[in-house]
Structure 1
Amino acid sequence: MDHPHTENLVHRLTTIRDHLEAGMDRREFVRTLVTGGYAIGLAGFLGVDDFLAAGDDEVPIVTALVREDPDDPWSLEERTQYVPAEWYASVEKAIELNELLARTAFTGYLGSAVVPNSYERGTAAVSVGLSSDLESIREAIDGLFNGVSLDLESIIDIEDSRDKPDDIEPRVIDSISNPDIPSGIACETAESIATLAPVMYDPETEQEFFVTAEHAFNDGAEPDSDRLSLPTENDDSVELGTVEYAHPTEDIVAVVPDDRVRPSNVIDADSPVRVRGQLTRMGLADLIARDEDLEKVGAVTGHTSGAIQGFDAVTCFTDNFCRYGQIRWGGEMDLTDGDSGSVSYYHDPDGEDEDVLVAGFNNARTWWPGQSYVWGIGAYTLNETYGYHF
């Protein structure tokens, strides 16, 4: 049983969050802290210092986790910025509505995603995919969340609309002259080709991993036995390592490097870029509000870019289970067979010219009429679920 003092604290924190969403100004916020019995030392825990530094109609959000030292993957710091309180309240409510839809999983529900509008509009939407026209869903939910609209779209004939796979001619590395293996190039399993992602870190063990898509292992990756390798121009294959963790729902595998090679934070674009950190959930919301694009480098289609179409997405299109914490971006032409395992990223506005922030993995694309985007697990979801970071 939870301790009553703990329950009381949770209730008070929830009340504070509700006031923040309503656009409380700084003096009201301080009065709420005092009347609520908060000690001044709790201010740091609540992020009050950031709040007090904002304008009366603003609140702080964490947009990214970024390395203070580019060469030290354990030096992550939170990057914050101030956003309009009205917009923030709408986005938070859209997140809650999206979670409610996903938990309900009513008949005909194929997925949904949170789509913030611009800062000027101060609103947000939830895009919902349905297998039929269920206007009753709108009637049941519309109006429960002020500032949040529902965008309902019927999706039909998914199974019959899948494209035939194209012949794959992936980008492969010339040779292994450097033990640091860049990402954005082809890697291979015993069954197929995928794209190698940048190095992923597990802070609990301080382990560095090679990463790619789990579905590249046709029957599912087997930890401690299945291996990942690297094809080269001279038709040799270099062993990268053995699968340590397989996450089928998130569609990634974490591979422990062999002694000869190690994963790198460099993405092999035309002008190579360096991963400096990753975007948070609210960081993606900020980019959507400002109409910013993401980029990727795949082993087959190379470098492409496109608009972000939603985050916290739920996808129930292809399996007998749903995938949560996804992002949607770009169009169906931004991904093809062999590109899975690549990451989408955004250039770090506060870093060096070559620095980028990872948004998430690219695992699949639409193939049915009426919708066009790439989807994959968000980097923030992996961090929240497993502690992994880039």
Structure 2
Amino acid sequence: MSGDYSARLVQRLTNLRDGLEPGMDRREFLRTVVSGGYVLGVASYLGVEDFLSADEGEVPIVTALVRSDPDDPFSLEERTRDVPAEWYAAVTKALEINEYLATVGMTGYLGSAVVPGSYSSQTASVSVGISSEGRSTREMIEEIADGISINAETIVEVEEMEDGPPSTQPRVATNVDSGVAPSGVVCETPSSMATLAPALYDPNTEQSYFVTAEHAFEGVSDPVGEPLVLPIDSAEPAQLGAVEYAYPVEDVAVVTPNGDLEPSSTIDTPSSARVRGQYTRLGLADLVARDEYLEKVGALTGHTTGRIQGIDAVTCFTDTFCRRGQIRWGGEMDLTDGDSGSVSFHEDPQGAADDVLVAGFNNARTWWPGQSYVWGIGAYKLTETHGYHF
């Protein structure tokens, strides 16, 4: 099979998958495949047989990328789950509307997020933030809703950041005798401090990196080359390495290890959580549908949990550009200065007792009246945009 033909066939099957009608059963799907001229053997090779294995009225979605070998970060496999077809159709449409709103950039548009409903409700909605000057856009937004509930809220002027939770002593790494640096502890830049995230991996080079928030390197226009330091309890600080890649829109700084310590997939919690992979966009939607919570371990506020408030969010509140692929979860008291760079995560339901899957980074919190959540880029978006994974 030539590359061009294979690519065209993949696109046709993708279009077929995207065109799934709510309530379509396996017989109807099979008829559509055959009438469309598809060879079932090829369709099976490309994964379309997942539809045929699902129960009536359900479709499979990829919920996570998970390591088949816990010790091999490059052994990622897709994990799937069957979900109601009507719920899938509602969430997919809400994601499309959310993307349209972000692309058009209506007057006063400050951001939006998709809020999947429960499986029993088989619904989804889009939460939209509008400035006072954009009130006239409400009717325009509702016109494109196409059956999806739109919750538009006027947001008052975003002013200076208010104080966060009371200051506490940062969580410092206590044991690096193994030669690895745990995540969930404080790390220091030349101008600030942040939280060290779990190891980030580049599948193309099979390189592992330290990673934290890009905005922690304040005062410099480009932090590439800037050092990152790990304070250690009762010992001299360790030089982790220097920033090799900086992504201000995603608010991520990627640091190449200098050889003294290696990045770890372990989060410094009482149970020493081990990262086994990460959630996809629809995997986060699945968590919302089942009313599951996310967790985080920050260098200042420690361990907190909170409900997911929105996925695939667009945030245009604080900069001249918009940040896409964001997660909104928890409340504003779940994050303070020094917690940026931590990750939100959820236990791996099919893993060992201490295994977790990463949802995304924590970069900031709301400080304006009327809203309360932590926000940061989803792990899936970082993978889509730059190829990295946890």
TM range (shorter): over 0.9
Once the two structures are TM-superposed, the CA of residue 5 in structure 1 deviates from its matched residue by: 7.6
Partner of 1:227: 227
Give the % identical residues.
63
The total of aligned residue pairs comes to: 388
What SS is found at the alignment partner of 2:263? strand
What SS is found at the alignment partner of 1:20? coil
Partner of 1:84: 84
Partner of 2:108: 108
Find out whether 1:20 has 2:20 as its counterpart. Answer: yes
Question: Partner amino acid for 1:171?
Answer: R
Distance in 1, Cα, partners of 2:119 & 2:276: 27
Q: After superposition, what is the alpha-carbon deviation per residue over 1:37-59, rounded to whole angstroms, capped at 9, x for unaligned? A: 11223313552211101112000
Distance in 1, Cα, partners of 2:45 & 2:143: 34
Partner of 1:312: 312
Find out whether 1:206 has 2:206 as its counterpart. Answer: yes
Distance in 1, Cα, partners of 2:200 & 2:193: 20
Partner of 2:364: 364
Distance in 2, Cα, partners of 1:164 & 1:219: 21
Q: After superposition, what is the alpha-carbon deviation per residue over 1:333-360, rounded to whole angstroms, capped at 9, x for unaligned? A: 0000000000000000000000000000
Q: After superposition, what is the alpha-carbon deviation per residue over 1:106-156, rounded to whole angstroms, capped at 9, x for unaligned? A: 111110000001111111000001112755434223354444110111111
Question: Partner amino acid for 2:267?
Answer: I
Show structure 2 runs of 5+ residues with no match: none
What SS is found at the alignment partner of 2:313? strand
TM-aligned CA distance change 1:187 to 1:29, over 3 Å:
same
Distance in 2, Cα, partners of 1:130 & 1:224: 35
Show structure 1 runs of 5+ residues with no match: none
Partner of 1:124: 124
| Range 152-161 or range 376-385, more displaced | 152-161
Partner of 1:335: 335
Distance in 1, Cα, partners of 2:249 & 2:130: 21
Matches within 5 A, 1:1-390: 12-13=12-13, 15-44=15-44, 46-132=46-132, 134=134, 136-142=136-142, 144-160=144-160, 162-163=162-163, 167=167, 169-220=169-220, 222=222, 225-234=225-234, 236-390=236-390
Distance in 2, Cα, partners of 1:8 & 1:335: 46
What SS is found at the alignment partner of 1:169? coil
Question: Partner amino acid for 2:341?
Answer: G
Give the TM-score normalised by the residue count of structure 1.
0.94
| Range 154-163 or range 277-286, more displaced | 154-163
Distance in 1, Cα, partners of 2:85 & 2:57: 5
Q: After superposition, what is the alpha-carbon deviation per residue over 1:230-283, rounded to whole angstroms, capped at 9, x for unaligned? A: 112236221001111111100011111111100101100122110000000000
What SS is found at the alignment partner of 1:159? coil
Distance in 2, Cα, partners of 1:302 & 1:5: 52
Give the TM-score normalised by the residue count of structure 2.
0.94
Distance in 2, Cα, partners of 1:147 & 1:285: 19
2:115, 2:310 within 8 Å by CA — same for their partners in 1?
Answer: yes
What SS is found at the alignment partner of 1:284? helix
TM-aligned CA distance change 1:4 to 1:257, over 3 Å:
closer
Q: CA RMSD for the aligned pairs?
A: 2.2
2:164, 2:336 within 8 Å by CA — same for their partners in 1?
Answer: no
Question: Partner amino acid for 1:267?
Answer: I
1:87, 1:119 within 8 Å by CA — same for their partners in 2?
Answer: yes
Question: Partner amino acid for 1:47?
Answer: G
Distance in 1, Cα, partners of 2:339 & 2:113: 23
Distance in 1, Cα, partners of 2:10 & 2:264: 41
Distance in 1, Cα, partners of 2:268 & 2:136: 49
2:267, 2:275 within 8 Å by CA — same for their partners in 1?
Answer: yes
1:197, 1:210 within 8 Å by CA — same for their partners in 2?
Answer: yes
Distance in 1, Cα, partners of 2:212 & 2:23: 42
